[in-house]
Structure formats: structure tokens, C-alpha cells
Amino acid sequence: MTGSGRRLFTAIPDSGRWYMTNLHTSEMLDWLNERDPLKLTGLFRAARACAVEHVGSKVYFRGLIESGNVCEKNCHYCGIRRGNRNFPRYSMTESEILACAREAFEMNYGSVVLQAGERCGPGYSAFIEKIIRGIKTLSGGKIGITLSLGEQSLETYEAWFRAGAHRYLLRIETSNPTLYKNLHPSDHSFEKRLECLRALKSTGYQTGTGVMIGLPGQTCEDLVNDILFFEREDMDMIGMGPYIPHEDAPLPSDGRDIGENFRLGLVMIALARLRLKNVNITAATALQALDPEGREKGVMAGANIIMPNLTPVKYREAYQLYEGKPCLDEDAGESSGGRLDRRIRFAGAQIGYGDWGDSPRFRSRNNGTAGPGKA
Ligand code: 5AD
Ligand code: SF4
């Protein structure tokens, strides 16, 4: 429908206007400044229609395993930064991680996401490799594996890919190098982050990135540039969420209303969907921290991925990247199983159980193949 020279127009219901999905930079900027709820509802509906057309009507669950909060980095905004000594550090054992993956498999989730603070070195690399192979074995190769384990060497990325991981999430946090510098200590590097993203792609991973939305010092122009960055780097997956301050993180506030970051978070999902079309987009948990129905609203604004938290409850308190992270004391099965399923169905989408739910953009770039071990 979007073939050569033709542009796709989608109606924004409720707004009485026709909306062009080949969004221009200036239109994206206008939408980020839009506050009229009726017009925003129209934008979200257009984005949801765009998702249905380009990635299908289903929402895919990725069971999130936060396997450890030990981190070698010291990002100014993050609650589990190396310099924060106000909470206990943990590293889940192999059998604990595999038990979570088994739970995801038994609930018929298509994939798991292994996320942790950033750790490097041959011992850690070998440990994760063993875990990846273990998850593949316990599920007979059926469970897809996404990693979110930060900046690593090319050799490590390759070893984890060979072991069977096929997607990797590494947020750029902001595409503005000056802002990136202000958010991180001087030994963190924007260029290194970019190099890692490119290394992941060349290794063969479905590669995802994203940003925090509403950061101190971040402008709406920066956010538009973030979407152009995702486009330029031809990313397969996008995971963005509102910035939420943490009391033990030193990033100074610029006085903005954090509640506003929720609106901006939904608008960014909708704009990314309308601009990039066939990518996977996550409805981030940080949305749920600001609104109990945040993730459902994310789906209704164009997201198609949700990451229910499967981390054992005893560890959740110690994985607080930001204040008010939800589901700290809920039983994992309760918070991520039937109830979430009902809520997503109620929001009008079906769940893609037992399916990897790969990014169609990745598939179209790679002639239908989706990495090693495709079930
Ligand atoms: N608010 C929102 N998101 C945060 N992250 C870290 N700290 C915060 C915060 N205070 C996000 C970063 C990181 C991901 C794992 O968590 O984007 O990449
Ligand atoms: Fe570590 Fe990631 Fe937090 Fe930075 S954002 S301190 S790398 S867990």
C-alpha cells in the first residue's frame, strides 16, 4: 500500500482530519506539544491501526528475568548505579534463572528477556552462555531469547548469539551526544554505545534500542531526533519509557512535571509506530509506574510487546531503576498471567502465545530468517 510514490493516509477518528502516516519532522514536533485529549486519542487510534496493518493485531509477551543488579556503570539517572550502596546486590543462580524461564515456557510465552546490570569479563560471559543454552534445552528450542545486558565485546555478543540468543536490547538513552554526556560519568561514551549497537546488528541479532522520555534538559526536538535516529540506524525493536527520578540517583531535576512524561511516552510510541511502521515496540514497565493501566494504554497507542515481570518477588525490591516500579509484592503468576491477559484482551488486542513474535522489519531485511534455532 505504501509502494513507490504512493503515500498512505490514515483517518484519525475523532479529529475529523485525515492523517498522513509518512510523518514529517515538523508534524512530529507538533504532536509532542499537543495536549488536546480528543486529538491525542485520534493519534493513538491511527497508531494502533498502523500497528495492526504492519505488525498484526497481536501483542507478544516476553517474560522478563532481572537476573542481577550488580552493575559496573554509574549512570546518573539510575537507581542501581554502582555508587548506590542503599540496597543489597544480588545475582541469580543458574537454577533460579532457568526456573523463571521454565515458568515462561509453561505459561506459553514465546520468549524471555534476560536483563541485568552491566557486567563484563570472561567468567560472566561464559555464565550467560551456559544460561542461554540451558533455556534452549529446557524448552526444546522453542523459547526465543532476548538479551539486555549492556555493552559487551564483539566476541561476547557473537558467543551469546551462537548459543541461541537472537534479540538484543541496548538503549541509546538519548540520541543527543551532549545530553548523553550530561547523563553519564566521563568514562561512559556515546560513541561506544553506538559502536555496540552496530556490532549487535552485524552479528545478526534483531537489535533494539530506545530512549528515556522527559529527561532533564531534553527538548521535544531531541525526541524527534531520537525517532530519526531509530530510522537511520534501521532498528528492529524500540523500547522507550518515561524518565522517572530515583532518590538515590544524582541527576538534578530541571523542574518539569514528571506526570507529563507519561503523555510524552504515549505520544512517542504513536509517532515511532507511524514513522517506522513494521518494528516491534514495547509498552515499557515505566509507563505502568506512572499509571496502573500504562502498558495497556501503550498498546492502544501502537506498542505490540509487553514484558511481564517473572523475577522472583524476593529480588524485585532490589531492582529499582526508578521510584515506584510496579509489582514489587505481587506474586509473579498473578501479576503477569491471567490478569494481564484479560486486561490486554479488554483493551482490544489478542495475545500471541507460543510465538516468538519477531520484528517484521528484521524479517524483511533478512529474507524471512530470524537467527539461530528458529522453532
Ligand atoms: N527512569 C526511567 N528509566 C530508567 N532507566 C534507568 N534509570 C531510569 C529512570 N530513572 C532505564 C534506562 C536503561 C533501562 C534498563 O532502564 O533506559 O537502559
Ligand atoms: Fe547500570 Fe544500566 Fe543502570 Fe546504567 S542504566 S547504572 S548500565 S543498570
Q: Global pTM?
A: 0.92
What is the DSSP code string of 190-248?
Answer: HHHHHHHHHHHHHHT-EEEE-BEES-TT--HHHHHHHHHHHHHTT-SEEEEEE----TT
pLDDT score for 7:
42
CA dihedral 125, 126, 131, 134 (to 10 degrees): 150
Closest atom of ligand 2 to 117 CA is 8
Domain 58-365 has CATH 3.20.20.70: yes
- Write the CA distances from 258 to 182, 213, 263, 322, integer angstroms: 19, 10, 10, 12
Q: Is 77 in the pocket of ligand 1 (CB under 6 A)?
A: yes
CA of 45 to the centre of ligand 2 (A): 34
Ligand 2, atom 6, lies closest to the CA of 81
Q: CB-based burial of residue 113 (10 Å sphere; 0-12 exposed, 13-18 middle, 19+ buried)?
A: buried
Closest atom of ligand 1 to 286 CA is 2
CB 341, CB 334: distance < 8 Å: no
Q: Is 40 in the pocket of ligand 2 (CB under 6 A)?
A: no
pLDDT lower than 70: segments of the chain: 1-21, 329-338, 367-375
Where do the structural domains in the chain lie, given as residue ranges?
58-365
pLDDT score for 329:
67
Element (H, E) at 356: none
pLDDT digits 0-9 by tens, 4-51: 333 444 445 444 444 556 788 998 999 999 999 999 998 999 999 999
pLDDT score for 332:
46
pLDDT score for 335:
47
Task: Give φ, ψ of 266 to 5 degrees.
Answer: -70, -40
Probe target for ligand 1 pocket from 168, 322, 323, 325, with the most ligand atoms within 8 Å of CB: 322
Closest atom of ligand 1 to 284 CA is 3
